[in-house]
Structure 1
């Protein structure tokens, strides 16, 4: 009864890739990389993108 389907694994993979992307992007925006774990929740990921998009200073390189 039930079990993990391929679709569940695919959705989980998308969320994990999202967190890894924010793990690398947030420090360049001057935000702690540990907050990227919150990007597992889609509304928080949208907020992070909004904050990064409307920053007045450029992203740090490297």
Structure 2
């Protein structure tokens, strides 16, 4: 079947994905958007587009509190 390196690779891959997705999920959910958008951080180039979109949109969480977006 497979070698033990495949199992180690899968564990490392899952840990890497968790260290990327978890913070992105938290950050995006604090902006007032669905946290599941954090999964897009795993897709190359889409993660950069997501970063640019987050940088320039009006965050729904700020609209609810009445805080001006700078």
- Point out the structure with max Rg over C-alpha: 2
8 Å contact from structure 1 (residues 16, 40) kept in 2: no
Tell me the SS of whatever aligns to 1:50.
Answer: helix
Counterpart position of 2:37: 35
Give the structure, 1 or 2, with the largest relative contact order (CA under 8 Å, sep 6 or more): 1
Separation of aligned partners in 2, 1:35 and 1:20: 11
| 2:20 aligns with one of 18, 21, 37 | 18
Separation of aligned partners in 2, 1:15 and 1:37: 9
Output the aligned Cα RMSD.
Answer: 2.8
Count of residue pairs brought into register by the alignment: 58
Separation of aligned partners in 1, 2:58 and 2:16: 29
Q: Which runs of 5+ in 2 are unaligned?
A: 63-70
Structure 1 moving runs of 4+ over 6 Å: none
